[in-house]
Structure 1
Amino acid sequence: MLFVTDRGVRGLGLCDAALADMARAGLRVSVFDAVEADPARGTVEAAAELGRAAGVSGVVGFGGGSSMDVAKLAALLLGCDRPLDAAWGVGRARGPRLPLVLVPTTAGTGSEVTPLSIVTVENAEKRGVSSPLILPDLAVLDPVLTLGLPGPVTAATGIDAMVHAIEAHASANANNNPLSRMLAREALRLLGAHIRTAVARPGDIEARGAMLLGAMLAGQAFANAPVAAVHALAYPIGGRFHVPHGVSNALVLPHVLRFNALRVPEAYAAIAADAFAELPATADAQACAAAFIEALAALSRDLGLPQRLRDVGIPHDALDAMAADAMLQTRLLVNNPRPLEKADARAIYEAAW
């Protein structure tokens, strides 16, 4: 069995019980713990090589979204004889793959229930594999595994999950449907009601469980109705400057939503009270959407997340290159409810700087 995780998760001892149980069951386990944030192509290939050398018959991904994404692609590469380059894009992966189990230790990516894996390739470009083949055979959600998550990580991953739900609900993708919107709204109810408690009281198992369930539902929502410009503009921040994905999303979130709300305020007005029950009801969609966006910005501030691109070390002269990078994310930009050009991306980065 190939067990994919990262050194931080392993150092905290979160893997110990699982590894001990697997040993008691008589399984031979090869641990790959070199996964990094925004994992590189080479990391995926190194994990697959370890599994190949050990002759493994299955893969476990244990950790955050990065570990689960690496595990998905390692299971694919170990099960078929095709290179990773043949799998990039939507529906291009070919099986078989090895049996796959995913166990999240953060409440954010929802990767345990999505047919997506994102890695960083040459020139800091984010590239993805989208295929039902990499959905796991089993996902295990245990809130106890998230109890040790530091407050800043809880905040960033929680905002990430909220972004998944928000973008899924507003997605222009043809597969945006009543079920995906229902999943997105229930995710926002859980996440919005519990994120502050999970950050302030990290040992609150009820809040942790609600966050984990909310992140999973958001993952199911955007697995059907894919995410859009928030993620497209967040990817260059993470790819070029190694900013955690949840923080990258939080930095551009209000600015992208303000851009979109000028055209489709109803998409955000419909979910405002789901995420923030205290928001007053109003028939004015533009006003309701604006209040929702301001509430999201206030939540980010209250949780202590960085607020400006300059706060995470991004120089002003990088904005043009970042806008060009964002436009490469055509897989995501086509889902945005308002068409977005390079000049728009540059203006959003300027507003966020």
Structure 2
Amino acid sequence: MSIFKPFTFDTIASIVAEWGAARRLGEILGNWTERRNLLIVTDKFLHTAGLLDAAKASLVEAGFAVSVFDDVVADPPEAVLHDCVGQAKAANVDLVLGLGGGSSMDIAKLAAVLIPSNQALAELYGIGKVKGTRLPLVQIPTTAGTGSEVTNITILTTGETTKMGVVSNQLYADKVILDAELTIGLPPLITAATGIDAMVHAIEAYTSRHRKNPVSDALAREALRLLARNLIAACEDGKNRLAREAMLLGATLAGQAFANAPVAAVHALAYPLGGHYHIPHGLSNALMLGPVLRFNLSAAAPLYAELADVLLGASTATVTARANRFVEFMEDLMNRSGAPRRLRDVNVREDSLALMAHDAMKQERLLMNNPVEVREADALALYRKAF
């Protein structure tokens, strides 16, 4: 008899974690690849704020020709990806680097696939639809939240309120560079929302009904420990190096966990908030986490109790008591973070909750992973609790 069920765990090939690594990016990449025609995928704010300057200077000094695509926006539509690929092809790019939040890294993933490919974007949506290889891909996150740097998933906006995903192992980066110096100066609200987003990844990976495994569990537990211990410190003092490093590593570990043990109802309910109200993804998750944790207690209590032991120390209390302590701890942490806590606080209208509940039911890929079945009436009740 085996001590565990058979499982598969996939992740990226290489992580470089180093304070100030972006300042010597040319050396790091120059020692790794002979390719020298590089595209940086980022957003206007990071570019104009000068966050790329040191990295670009290091790359140029090492002999790289650097192009920058900086038109990435939150919840990027397909048109942004097509523009990025067009610019890359015109520049004969042979290496792609995503630098920024989840949206920039998501666009970088698919750009690396589509630049050398004849596949149409429409053919890629779904699971395992990408054919062939891609250009070499490097990812550098500038927020501690999405975990996109280590996942094989890209989400694009495909209509007024709809999103679709591409899930394929070709989207795993070749190299990830974790430089927490790049996260210094993130505003408290963004720090809070992205940090809670990363905690959602860890919690949902740990309680996922499908593909949960010993490796994803270990990553989720350590991610949650790092994130919970350092979230408030990072929010209160944006220049706290130890807190910033812990948050960035925690977000990456959570990303590796949920790339293998998929997320569930919190994300399914968060997507309509982004689609209808353009609420940032991390904040959407933060708003829905509390109600979903309580909804899942009936089935997830043993796992929540284990997470309580990670965060609060081992206890001889009952499973139910420890599980409730975990939920209360998370709710208190979110309250202390300063992030908005109610849907009404971010201008969601009460008369739109039923429509969003209907839309959430379309997220079957996510809802199937939830510990408790979520029907449309349940989704509406959860939105009302969050309202």
**TM-score range relative to shorter protein:** over 0.9
Correspondence for 1:228:
264
For 1:323, the aligned partner's letter is: A
Q: Choose from 190, 212, 218 the match for 1:176.
A: 212
For the residues of structure 2 that align with 1:90 and 1:114, how far apart are their CA atoms?
13
Letter in structure 2 aligned against 1:239 = G
1:105 to 112, 125, 142: 142
1:297 aligned to which of 327, 331, 334: 331
Structure 1 residue 282, shift from structure 2 partner: 4.3
Aligned counterpart, 1:315:
349
Contact 1:79 1:95 in 2 (8 A): no
Partner of 1:142: 179
State the distance in 1 between where 2:309 and 2:189 align.
25
| Whole-angstrom distance in 1 between the partners of 2:47 and 2:305 | 42
1:277 maps to 2:331: no
Which of 64, 69, 94 in structure 1 is aligned with 2:101?
64
Give the AA of the match of 2:219.
Answer: L
1:119-198 alignment runs, 5 A limit: 119-173=156-210, 175-198=211-234
**CA deviation profile, 1:163-213 (whole Å, cap 9, x unmatched):** 00000000001x211111011001011111111111111111111111111
CA distance in 2 between counterparts of 1:12 and 1:292 reads 39
- Consecutive unaligned residues of structure 1, counting only runs of 5 or more, are none
Aligned residue among 299, 315, 335 for 2:369: 335
CA shift digits 1:19-74 (9 cap, x unpaired): 11222223222211111111112111111111112221111100011110010011
Query: For each residue in 1:137-161, what CA deviation from the matched residue of structure 2 results, as whole angstroms up to 9, or x when unmatched?
Result: 1100011111121111111110011
For residues 305-345 of structure 1, the C-alpha deviation after alignment (integer angstroms, 9 at most, x for no partner) is: 11111111110111111011111111111111111111111
1:258-314 deviations in Å (ceiling 9; x for gaps): 11112221121110232x337x72432222222211221121111111111111111
Counterpart residue type for residue 294 of structure 2: R
| Code of the aligned partner of 1:228 | A
CA–CA distance in structure 1, aligned partners of residues 116 and 276 of structure 2: 32
The residue identity in structure 2 corresponding to 1:137 is D
Offset from partner CA, 1:81-122 (integer Å, 9 cap, x none)? 101111111111112211111000111111111111111111
* Alpha-carbon distance between aligned partners in 2 of 1:240 and 1:42, rounded to the nearest angstrom: 19
Matches of 1:4 and 1:311, distance apart in 2: 33
Query: Quick check: 1:159–1:250 contact (8 Å CA) kept in 2?
Result: yes
- Residue 11 of structure 1: CA displacement? 2.6
Whole-angstrom CA distance in 1 between matches of 2:280 and 2:115: 28
* Residue in 2 that maps onto 1:44: 81
State the alpha-carbon separation in 1 of the partners of residues 322 and 116 from structure 2. Answer: 49
Q: Hey, what does 1:116 align to over in structure 2?
A: 153
Alignment partners' CA distance in 2, 1:8 and 1:297: 32
Which amino acid is the alignment partner of residue 167 of structure 1?
A: E
Give the fraction of aligned pairs with identical amino acids, expressed as a percent: 52
| Paired position in structure 2 for 1:4 | 41
* TM-score of the pair, normalised by structure 1: 0.96
Please tell me the residue identity of whatever aligns with 2:342: R
Tell me the secondary structure at the aligned position of residue 122 of structure 1: coil
Q: Which residue of 2 is the match for residue 209 of structure 1?
A: 245
C-alpha RMSD over aligned residues? 1.2
Counterpart check, 1:15 vs 2:52: yes
- Whether the 8 Å CA contact 1:59–1:101 is kept in 2: the answer is yes
Partners of 1:41 and 1:287 in 2: CA distance: 47
- Partners of 1:282 and 1:167 in 2: CA distance: 25
Unaligned runs of 5+ in 2: 1-37
- Quote the Cα distance in structure 2 between the aligned partners of 1:332 and 1:121: 18
> In 2, Cα distance between the equivalents of 1:318 and 1:170?
29
Match of 1:251 in 2: 287
Question: C-alpha separation between the residues in 1 aligned to 2:271 and 2:372?
Answer: 19
Preserved CA contact (<8 Å) 1:63 1:103: yes
Contact residue 109 and residue 219 of structure 1 kept, 8 A: yes
2:122 matched residue in structure 1: 85
Partner Cα separation in structure 2 for residue 38 and residue 342 of structure 1: 24
Amino acid at match of 1:295: F
What secondary structure is seen at the aligned counterpart in 1 of 2:332? Answer: helix
Can you list the C-alpha shifts for 1:229-259, whole angstroms capped at 9, x where unaligned? 0000001111211111111001110101111
The letter for the 1-side match of 2:345 is D
**Hey, what does 2:300 align to over in structure 1?**
264
Amino acid at match of 2:220: A
Runs of 4+ in 1 over 3 A off after TM superposition: none
Question: Partner amino acid for 2:128?
Answer: G
- Does the CA contact (< 8 Å) of 1:184 and 1:221 recur in 2? yes
